[in-house]
Structure 1
Amino acid sequence: MENKRVYTFGGGQAEGKADMRELLGGKGANLAEMNLIGVPVPPGFTITTEVCNEYYQVGQEKIMSLLENEVTAAVAHIEKLMNCKFGDATNPLLVSVRSGARASMPGMMDTILNLGLNDEVAAGMVAKTNNPHFVYDSYRRFVQMYGDVVLGMKPVNKEDIDPFEKIIDEVKSEQGVVLDKDLSVESLQKLVKLFKAAIKEQTGADFPDSPMVQLWGAICAVFRSWMNERAILYRKMEGIPDEWGTAVSVMAMVFGNMGDTSATGVCFSRDAGNGENLFNGEYLVNAQGEDVVAGIRTPQQITKIGSQRWAERAGISEEERASKYPSMEEAMPEIYKQLNDIQDKLEKHYHDMQDMEFTVQEGKLWFLQTRNGKRTGTAMVKIAMDLVREGLIDEKTALLRCEPQKLDELLHPVFDKDALKKAKVITQGLPASPGAACGQIVFFADDAQQWHADGHKVVMVRIETSPEDLAGMSAAEGILTARGGMTSHAAVVARGMGKCC
């Protein structure tokens, strides 16, 4: 029998399990495991990390022919469980394509959502859902992501303007709206056309209409992203070997952007900043996962206590908080209860603090991933000690969980408590990663690197960070962003580095 390269999961069954992370990557192994323990996960399949190494040896064409039969069978497996068909105009299946190495590398590699859309499929989805806003919102996101990740439209340096963001800003000002979600159906349809024209202009080729061609493009792009600059730099910083490779997980799309009974979010079973045993996280109604992680809209809190603490810090009255920024616990109590039960189940199953992503599609909760959460040095020690007290791990495991290089974080600078009382506060924000930092302000990652190399201390200030800013974040004393919450890319990566953010 030839080497098995594709492992399926879905409907409470899976060909993989948690201890297969070397082969399936962390994400693939945990998706399989969640299926086996009864957590609702959209069906899908994982292409192994070994194929990533093969990709670099034999190239794209050969990999596609090696995988063709297994991938075709795995797509049919998703179709059967979801009761719809990939590329069908009347009852279409859309998928997401995600990376997943055996060590967690948040935001360093690429993801593509809503794959499988073209003009015919979009028209079919409108007829099926009677929700054109949702369909064309998903379509414009897909064309933008595919253009960025697969077709190389992403700007290379700070002088380049992102062609898609420029088009979005122009269409928003034409319509006179501030947020993407307020764009009309006509504006969203216009974005799809303008995005495709921009792709044709920059690459000389038409946007691919065939869902199967789109899928192969995305799978190979994820393998390519293992060797992108930021992934290589992150591996160097974290001591992750290049030969581990990344797996690729393809799963049926579930949609958080179908209206006010849909949502998407990220949550932690304990506080990743200080280790407090308090379920916490953030969610956005009528949005897709990338919105929360990218920090494009600042999300709302999942728990009522989290929401009250946030309002207190932001100087918002309880009355205004409850009416304008309600927690998920208050706004979607049934979903919140399911979410809370599952996060508890996952933490007990893995015996560690979990970082989870979920989507609610029209009132049904789906889990998209779980992993042992990145945490600060302080949180690392507290969580390890608490888990010992709770009987979830033994003392030896607790010691092994404390990474030596993170212990020096406990000695990082903090503000003097007395001086803090006398200080003049200019502004306040969300404490995504604790500590204190002092330095000259820089606005670009490469300037942060340059100034740091010249012996200056710098604080990097950005609207929001993206994975491309990694080298600048590493060089800075601290990071300040104008947008995004406690689960955004900046927050997660800063906590992992022990940087104040």
Structure 2
Amino acid sequence: MDKKYVYLFNEGNADMRELLGGKGANLAEMSSLGMPVPNGFTITTEACNKYYEDGEQISDEIRAQIEEYLGMLEKETGKKFGDRENPLLVSVRSGARASMPGMMDTILNLGINDVVAATIAEKTGNERFAYDSYRRFIQMFADVVKGLSKKRFEEIIDEVKAEKGKKDDLELDAEDMKELVARFKEFYRAELGEDFPTDPRTQMMEAIEAVFRSWNNERAIYYRRQNDIPSDWGTAVNVQMMVFGNMGEDCGTGVAFTRNPATGENKLYGEFLMNAQGEDVVAGVRTPQKIDQLKEVSPTAYEQFVDICSRLENHYKNMQDMEFTIENGKLFMLQTRNGKRTAQAALKVACDMVDEGLINTDEAIMMVEPQQLDALLHPMFDTAELKAATPITTALPASPGAAAGTVVFSAEEAIEEAAKGRQVILVRLETSPEDIQGMAAAQGILTVRGGMTSHAAVVARGMGACCVSGAGDITIDEEAGTFTVGGKTYGREDWISLDGSTGNVYGEKISTVPAEITGDFERFMEWADARRRLKIRTNADTPRDAAQAVEFGAEGIGLVRTEHMFFDGDKIKAIREMIVAKNDDQMEAALAKLEPLQQEDFEGIYEAMEGRPVTIRYLDPPLHEFVPHTPEEIAELAAEMNMDAEELQAVVDSLHEVNPMMGHRGSRLDVSNPGIARMQTEAVIRAAININRKHPDWNVVPEIMLPLIGDLKELKYVKKMVTDTADKILAEEGVDMDYHVGTMIEVPRAALKAGELAEEAEFFSFGTNDLTQLTFGFSRDDAGKFLPEYYSAKIYENDPFARLDQTGVGELVAIAAERGRKTRPDIKLGICGEHGGDPASIEFVDGLGLNYVSCSPYRVPIARLAAAQATIKNEKK
């Protein structure tokens, strides 16, 4: 063969994750460890990529290899596909190299048809089991391969139960299962105009294609973008001999974690169902039993499972998430992977494993996803209000945190309402993978069905969302848009609150309070801080934001946006007076009003930062942002300013630009209106003098940043205004105080001319928002309208305004850093755009040797951890 696209489990190992996917590599590894893994083979991620290269067709070469390895599997198992004597049934499952729980597709019981079902019934003496397996296969194949409605199949089951007078699926007997098979086939034929396929090989090839296709389903694409998983990784496909948990009461299936994924407690945690298949547990259709109860139900299998759990955790040195099946009392392992866990659990597991000697601190740092920390930084319920509130129901605490919002009943509704800025709670009978975007948009998720390992629970924990599941005493009426519990009905305008740590649900809005960094969190972050090279600053425009950032570990401010200080009270009036000034005297009068207001703001920020470095960016946006635009607003402002409305309208009209984001803004304003730079310099320097007199130990050294510079002469011109003003004030005050003047690199020309700019600039801060905007030619305000089509077409993987484009914008950053250092070896380099809080962007700039990143206050801990991980990764390169 030219290229090997298929591997038996016993041919692979854990180091082949990129080729075999996470599931395939782990199945191979468990097999090599001598664990009870049903035989099977893996079709590689390269086969998936070739499938797409070949126009979504499985090539003859790959088909031939699948047939060859199917023959090997038949030989290994002693069973044959479609055989009348000893039929082989298989599962077909996806398996990307990065865990994507619930995002792609699985088909169980493949290979069954009328003849095989009858054979299984005869051989096992269990007719119900045979036809239960058959109806499940039809249902999954029709959904995954053909896209038929899952809901309609559930309705058919409900119809049969109603006709037979039965309430539970388990009450359906063999004849009922045969009836379901017949009705499912009728539905399939009616919808597709063809009979359900009976040839097992046809079934398998179509299923494999469907799994490849699922790599690009909407929910998988969304998950990849959320978790930084490249589209060219592809998914592997695992074909594995079926073992059956639905053959009777000595059979079962379950999902378990080696530690509690919600709290991190070092105790086996999971659920199982007897006489069931795996999808029953994760779908939440039946309420499962806790894993501890397996000790009484199947003691031999339980003891073996506990031993395997211990071995797997010690082998992988990480908390494991496992799926298992018990067939006739015998245990089989179907999967292991590093378990998704809450942020709280992630920190506890990391700290505990260090204490247990399983891992070192570097390994602990790499175990926690930086984005997870976000869940620990946002508010929790106010204790006093919580104590006064009474739960309307209590269910399973599936994912911790606090959430309050009005009720919605569909993912689409959640997305729509969240887009309007509203807080919502998604209330569902049970969630499915298709709901992922709605779950992300909601403050929290409440489900009627499902356990701690249901889809809702697993996905919510992965995204750090609050979730309460299994609230069985709630009755939902989706058509009416209501749910009822305890005799009271709640609708779309009603507020409810969820406590994901206790499982309590409240029929009211409960306020929240800020989180604190203590305990495992504090200890873990000390490890990260000791390991990282990059300094972490914050973007803050108010003393409150600055203080919050310091609490979260910020080491300075990388960006104070001075324009944000102008938008309230007297400040907006003063800046409007400046804008409409007709002569120098009016301009100076307006600036004289602004200076003490700005100085007061800067003093507040210096106080909050307690001597840490503060970089202040001078006025950046175009002036039209400060004036009203509707006739009513203009008339109101004109009256306030003792102006004629028509005169003010003329001023507003004069500020209009065809493309204001590339127009009269940034340092261009200072060139046109030197008084602005002088006023801001006076405020910056006088504020620093006052704070240094008040706190001499702090030694505040102002860092003045000039925005949108593109030329050395331009920088020299504006810098001279700053230094002349600053030096004059320092001389008048008799103060010897350092200050620095630098620039933002946000115009592509500035990046290319960085060597020249460094002759005057003492520091560069990369304004990666504008640098991205000007490099791509995208408006960051409008790109969201067309970028989704770029993701679908695989032109871009991510929003370039959220994740730094390393090959384009990143190259400009690299060029500027190199050329700037050549001129001024000690130049300080940082980034202060939104990318400063993105882990992938942090890893990139750490590799370039920048000094710091700056991000919003609530992303500071995320950046601290991401910087530590970047150091560890870059050291290994």
User: Normalising by the residue count of structure 1, what TM-score does the alignment of the two structures yield?
Assistant: 0.92
> Whole-Å Cα distance in 2 between the matches of residues 59 and 124 of structure 1?
39
What is the alpha-carbon distance in structure 2 between the residues aligned to residue 402 and residue 189 of structure 1?
49
In the TM superposition, what whole-angstrom CA distance separates every residue of 1:281-337 from its partner, at most 9, and x where no partner exists?
A: 00001000000011111101011xxxxxxxxxxxxxxxxxxxxxxx11222222111
Compare 175-184 and 406-415 and name the one that shifted more. 406-415
SS of the aligned residue for 1:344 comes to: helix
- Structure 1 residues 379-398: aligned runs within 5 Å: 379-398=345-364
Aligned pair partner of 1:53 in 46, 49, 55: 49
Paired position in structure 2 for 1:211: 200
Q: Residue 262 of structure 1: CA displacement?
A: 0.2
Whether the 8 Å contact between 1:89 and 1:121 is mirrored in structure 2 is yes
Aligned residues of 1:377 and 1:409 also touching (Cα < 8 A): yes
Match of 1:319 in 2: none
Counterpart AA for 1:283: F
Deviation string 1:173-227 (CA, Å, 9 cap, x unpaired) is 0011122221121111011111111111111111111000000010000000101
Q: Distance in 2 between matches of 1:109 and 1:218?
A: 12
Match of 1:460 among 412, 420, 426: 426
* Residues 374 and 464 in structure 2, CA contact (< 8 A), matched pair in contact too: no
**Partner letter of residue 27 of structure 1?**
K
The one of 17, 20, 23 aligned to 2:16: 20
Q: Please give the residue correspondences for 1:88-487 in structure 2 after superposition, counting only pairs within 5 Å.
A: 88-154=83-149, 162-303=151-292, 327-487=293-453
Give the Å deviation of 1:418: 4.1
Match of 1:85 among 57, 80, 83: 80
Q: Supply the AA of the counterpart residue of 2:253.
A: T
Question: Structure 1: which amino acid aligns with 2:79?
Answer: C
The residue that corresponds to 2:791 in the other structure is none
Instruction: State the 1:58 CA deviation.
Output: 0.7
Q: Provide the C-alpha distance between the structure 1 equivalents of 2:125 and 2:335, rounded to a whole number of angstroms.
A: 29
Shift of 1:412: 2.8
Mapped to 1, the partners of 2:248 and 2:416 lie a distance apart of: 45
The one-letter amino acid paired with 1:39 is: M
Select between 174-183 and 355-364 the one with higher mean Cα deviation: 174-183
CA contact (8 A) 1:262 1:285 kept: yes
Identity of aligned residues (%): 60
Partner SS, residue 96 of structure 1: strand
The 1-side partners of 2:373 and 2:429 are apart by 30
Q: Is the 8 A contact 1:64 1:216 kept in 2?
A: no
| Pairwise CA distance, 1:81 | 2.2
Q: In structure 1, what residue type is equivalent to 2:167?
A: V
Structure 1 contact 452–476 (Cα < 8 Å) conserved: yes
- CA displacement, residues 135-192 of structure 1 (integer Å, 9 cap, x when unaligned): 000000000100001112136xxxxxx2212211111100111222211211110111
Hey, what does 2:6 align to over in structure 1?
Answer: 6
CA drift at 1:64: 4.4
Q: Which residue type is aligned with residue 452 of structure 1?
A: A
Residue aligned with 2:276, SS = coil
Alignment-derived partner of residue 312 in structure 1: none
Cα RMSD (Å) of the superposition?
A: 1.1
Name the structure 2 match of 1:494.
Answer: 460
1:396: Cα distance to partner?
Answer: 1.0
- Partner SS, residue 394 of structure 2: coil
Using the alignment, how far apart are the partners of 2:82 and 2:222 within structure 1? Answer: 37
**Within 1, Cα distance between the matches of 2:368 and 2:299?**
36
CA displacement, residues 341-364 of structure 1 (integer Å, 9 cap, x when unaligned): 001100000000000000000100
Deviation of the 1:131 alpha carbon: 0.3
CA distance in 2, matches of 1:467, 1:411: 27
* Unaligned runs of at least 5 residues, structure 2: 468-877
Alignment coverage as a number of residue pairs: 467
Higher Rg: 2
CA distance in 2, matches of 1:238, 1:286: 35
Query: Which residue, out of 35, 39, 52, partners 1:43?
Result: 39
- CA drift of 1:265 comes to 0.2
Query: Which segment is superposed worse, 114-123 or 415-424?
Result: 415-424
- Deviation, 1:230, is 0.6
Q: CA deviation at 1:60?
A: 4.8
Looking at structure 2, the residues matched to 341 and 494 of structure 1 have their Cα atoms a distance apart, in angstroms, of: 29
The separation in 2 between residues aligned to 1:481 and 1:152, in whole angstroms, is 25
3, 28, 37: which one aligns with 1:32: 28
Measured in 1, the distance between the counterparts of 2:368 and 2:259 equals 16
Q: Supply the distance in 1 between the matched residues of 2:235 and 2:191 (Cα, whole angstroms).
A: 29
Indicate the structure whose relative CO is greater, using CA pairs within 8 Å and at least 6 residues apart: 1
Which amino acid is 1:459 matched to? I
Q: What one-letter code is carried by the residue in structure 2 that aligns with 1:202?
A: E
Bigger mean CA deviation after superposition, 473-482 or 400-409: 400-409
Please report how far the alpha carbon of residue 416 of structure 1 lies from its aligned counterpart in structure 2 after TM superposition.
3.3
Question: Conserved in 2, the CA contact under 8 Å of 1:387 and 1:393?
Answer: yes
SS in 2 for 1:426: strand
User: Structure 1 residues 50-59 or 276-285, which shifts more?
Assistant: 50-59
Q: Please give the TM-score of this superposition, normalised by the length of structure 2.
A: 0.53
- SS state at 2:391 partner: coil
- Give the stretch that moved more between structures: 485-494 or 178-187: 178-187
Residues in 2 aligned to 1:417 and 1:36: alpha-carbon distance in whole angstroms: 51
Amino acid at match of 2:48: C
Equivalent-residue separation in structure 2 for 1:151 and 1:393 (angstroms):
46
Q: Which secondary structure state, in structure 2, belongs to the residue aligned with residue 456 of structure 1? A: coil
SS of corresponding position for 2:403: coil
Q: Which runs of 5+ in 1 are unaligned?
A: 156-161, 304-326
Asked if the contact 1:413–1:437 (Cα under 8 Å) also holds between the matched residues in 2, the reply is no
Q: Which amino acid is 2:394 matched to?
A: Q
Residues in 2 aligned to 1:331 and 1:198: alpha-carbon distance in whole angstroms: 38
Aligned AA (1:178):
K
How far off is 1:415 after superposition? 2.5
1:73 positional shift? 2.0
